[in-house]
Structure 1
Amino acid sequence: MNSVSAMWWSFRSAVGTILILLATAAALIISAVAYGAARWKSRKIICELADAMQEFVRTQKVPELPEKYAKIQKQMEQIQQMERHSRELAQTEAQRKNDLVTYLAHDLKTPLASVVGYLCLLDEAPDMPEAQKEKYTGIALQKAYRLDDLINEFFDITRFNLQTIELQKVRFDLAMLLRQLADEFYPMLAQKGITAAVQVPETLTLTGDPDKLARVFNNILKNAAAYSYENSEICMTAEKEDNHIVVSVISHGEVIPLQKLDMIFEKFYRLDSSRSTHTGGAGLGLAIAKKIVTAHGGKIHAESSEEQTAFIVELPR
């Protein structure tokens, strides 16, 4: 009995081992088949999506995808909309730039002709009365300044896309900078009876690039001066708010329509569609201001209502 039992247990053990091996082999085969099927299905999906993407890139049209790819199709439609919007913006910007170059080229002739004309009069009449000489010299000088402004605008147009903002940050007195700018603008503002008030706490300091930030507030003030009512006031304020310093430049003039408040910070956009030889610019001042403020990690926006416009600059302390 012992030998028979031993043989029986050996037989059972052998059968069990064989069954385990067969089960393992079957599992491996099933796994391999499932893996192959999944891989084939994945390749099929990838090929379908690759073909769809190639068609999208080639035709710029979103192909009709099966329902299971609805999310991907929606994303492709969003990409198409973004691409179309970017293309339209680029075309609009290019048209604005071309128009401005044409306008500025035309506007250069007017002050240049005046400078040449008045200098010729002075040269041809050496015995001209002193009062008349002074008048003609003053007009020629004024037109020469305007000519210089227009040439600088040409340089701004050509430099803007190539310029990389490099900041030289130091700790500086923001209150002093704003007061100096107000003083520099006095002659320009006085011509229209405009005054500039600066309401800034003493020794308000900020870490940033003072030269670049001076250009920001210079451009904002220049814009405010151009569009303010005569005999009005431009008020500049600055205060600490949490981790920011908020500078506001408030002027009084015609309300800027809501739909134009964001557009005024776009390149080559001019709020006044009519070309003014005296106040018209290249439409880069506020765009440059925004680029500098953004480089400082700050924000700039405009608000306008009830004949009052405020440009608000937030800069990290």
Structure 2
Amino acid sequence: MKSRKEVLKRTVLMRLTLQIVLFSLLYAVLLYILDQWFNGRILDAMDLLVGRLVSVYLLKKMLIAGVYLFGIILLCIRTVTRYLEYIDQITTSIDAILKPEIPVAEFPPELKDVEITLKDIRYSITHNAQLAREAEQRKNDLVVYLAHDLKTPLTSVIGYLSLLHEGPELPENQRIKYTAIALDKAYRLEQLINEFFDITRFNLQTVALDCTQLDLSVMLLQMAEEFYPAFAEKNLEAQTEIESGLRLTGDADKLARVFDNLLRNVVSYSDPGTPVRISAKQQNGRILVKIRNHCEEIPPEKASRIFDKFFRLDVSRNTHSGGSGLGLSIAKQIVQLHGGTIQLNSTPAFTEFTVTLPVTPEEKAIS
């Protein structure tokens, strides 16, 4: 829309033009009458004068038009130059996206959206590159861990079977002992292989839940009883505070595996002679299960990775004391498959796992 000032200016110019035209017509009529009075001599003289005036007028108009044209050309050049500078800045910033050491250029206010978009693209590329490096590292770790965790029990099985094969004169009690150890290591090897298959199936999201109505209160109390020998071996005191009648729809076998993995972890890392507290209650339509034990505080950088595949708190990867590092990862994915969450909170006073499950499983992607 034109401003009021522009409209007023245009109106004044139109009125002035109209007045000039009317004045010119009156002047022409008057001049014609006078010319007729003086037998045409006035018009002859005026014709010469007007011709000169018209020449001056046209020259003036041409000069004014030239000035306007020159200004328009300068404005166009300035505009094109500015946009070329913008394009150069954008090109430089695009080149800098893949080079973290080069900052993204600061753009003028009219191109702030472009600057924000380029910075977002740079962050996305950098973040994805970091994720790719981490995935590559996890893949390399997987190969190393597989080699280590499978080789250890396999070596034991081969060693004890070789002793039995090469020493037929061994006493019966020794043969029974070596056979039992070899069988135990073979079972351990089978367990590791099953865990590797399970984690692969979870990654491919080919696991289906066999859901039924189950009483989680009964399951937790039963598991606490089953772990009594393991608790007693480390002089751990099991304390239960479980609401009765905690019913939900879920896969009983897989949920039992979740709490079995958590309790095994608690037994492995609890300080001897300390209590283990298992509590469960319903809250806001969800069931909240907490397993608390007392052990050395887990540093935040390790606590944040506790559910990662193959992550172990001990760097030695002693599979006899701490498992393969897959149990907690499998537990997390089973809980997520039910639409729940699992968290770890570690303080100097205690370490606590918290599992939250919906009464009815929800569709939720595994992360």
CA distance in 1, matches of 2:169, 2:283: 64
Superposition deviation, residue 191 in structure 1: 4.6
CA distance in 1, matches of 2:154, 2:231: 25
1:130 equivalent to 2:175? Answer: no
1:99 equivalent to 2:146? Answer: no
1:176 equivalent to 2:176? Answer: no
Runs of 4+, deviation exceeding 6 Å: none
Name the structure 1 match of 2:318: 276
Provide the TM-score with structure 1 as the length reference.
0.71
Instruction: Give the direction of change, closer, same or farther, for the CA distance of 1:111–1:263 in structure 2 (3 Å limit).
Output: closer
Instruction: Give the direction of change, closer, same or farther, for the CA distance of 1:118–1:285 in structure 2 (3 Å limit).
Output: closer
Query: Runs of 5+ in structure 1 lacking a partner?
Result: 1-44
Q: Is the 8 A contact 1:100 1:282 kept in 2?
A: no
Superposition deviation, residue 163 in structure 1: 2.5
Which one of 172, 194, 205 corresponds to residue 163 of structure 1?
205
CA distance in 1, matches of 2:339, 2:95: 36
Structure 2 SS opposite 1:99: helix
Superposition deviation, residue 281 in structure 1: 4.2
Which one of 109, 112, 122 corresponds to residue 151 of structure 2?
109
Superposition deviation, residue 217 in structure 1: 1.8
CA RMSD of aligned residues (A): 3.3
CA distance in 2, matches of 1:132, 1:60: 65
Provide the TM-score with structure 2 as the length reference.
0.62
- Given residue 78 of structure 1, which amino acid in structure 2 is its aligned partner? D
Which one of 287, 290, 293 corresponds to residue 245 of structure 1?
287
CA distance in 1, matches of 2:268, 2:147: 21
* CA displacement, residues 109-129 of structure 1 (integer Å, 9 cap, x when unaligned): 332222222223233444533
Structure 1 SS opposite 2:248: strand
Name the structure 2 match of 1:5: none
CA distance in 2, matches of 1:259, 1:109: 29
* CA displacement, residues 62-100 of structure 1 (integer Å, 9 cap, x when unaligned): 565442232442344234324423432332233133223
* CA displacement, residues 199-246 of structure 1 (integer Å, 9 cap, x when unaligned): 322332122232332232222223222222234443221011222211
CA distance in 1, matches of 2:253, 2:200: 21
Which piece of structure 1 moves more, 60-69 or 160-169? 60-69
CA distance in 2, matches of 1:269, 1:288: 12
CA distance in 2, matches of 1:281, 1:63: 51
Structure 2 SS opposite 1:265: coil
Superposition deviation, residue 151 in structure 1: 2.1
Q: Is the 8 A contact 1:193 1:230 kept in 2?
A: yes
Q: Is the 8 A contact 1:173 1:204 kept in 2?
A: yes
Superposition deviation, residue 282 in structure 1: 4.3
Superposition deviation, residue 313 in structure 1: 1.0
Q: Is the 8 A contact 1:93 1:267 kept in 2?
A: no
Instruction: Give the direction of change, closer, same or farther, for the CA distance of 1:298–1:111 in structure 2 (3 Å limit).
Output: closer
Superposition deviation, residue 153 in structure 1: 3.7
Instruction: Give the direction of change, closer, same or farther, for the CA distance of 1:78–1:215 in structure 2 (3 Å limit).
Output: farther
Superposition deviation, residue 104 in structure 1: 2.8
Which one of 174, 184, 190 corresponds to residue 148 of structure 1?
190
Q: Is the 8 A contact 1:56 1:63 kept in 2?
A: no
Instruction: Give the direction of change, closer, same or farther, for the CA distance of 1:187–1:254 in structure 2 (3 Å limit).
Output: same
1:288 equivalent to 2:330? Answer: yes
Name the structure 1 match of 2:296: 254
Q: Is the 8 A contact 1:165 1:292 kept in 2?
A: no
State the number of aligned residues: 271
- Given residue 87 of structure 1, which amino acid in structure 2 is its aligned partner? A
Q: Is the 8 A contact 1:302 1:312 kept in 2?
A: yes
Which piece of structure 1 moves more, 140-149 or 243-252? 140-149
Instruction: Give the direction of change, closer, same or farther, for the CA distance of 1:131–1:101 in structure 2 (3 Å limit).
Output: same
Structure 2 SS opposite 1:240: strand
CA distance in 2, matches of 1:232, 1:106: 32
Alignment of 1:10-49 (within 5 A): none
Superposition deviation, residue 308 in structure 1: 1.7
Superposition deviation, residue 183 in structure 1: 4.3
Structure 1 SS opposite 2:280: strand
Which piece of structure 1 moves more, 162-171 or 172-181? 162-171
- Given residue 182 of structure 1, which amino acid in structure 2 is its aligned partner? A
Name the structure 2 match of 1:6: none
* Structure whose CA Rg is larger: 2
Instruction: Give the direction of change, closer, same or farther, for the CA distance of 1:211–1:88 in structure 2 (3 Å limit).
Output: same
- Given residue 162 of structure 2, which amino acid in structure 1 is its aligned partner? C
* CA displacement, residues 151-208 of structure 1 (integer Å, 9 cap, x when unaligned): 2343245434212443343321101222333344455555544454443223321222
Name the structure 2 match of 1:39: none
CA distance in 2, matches of 1:85, 1:270: 25
CA distance in 1, matches of 2:355, 2:206: 21
Structure 2 SS opposite 1:89: helix
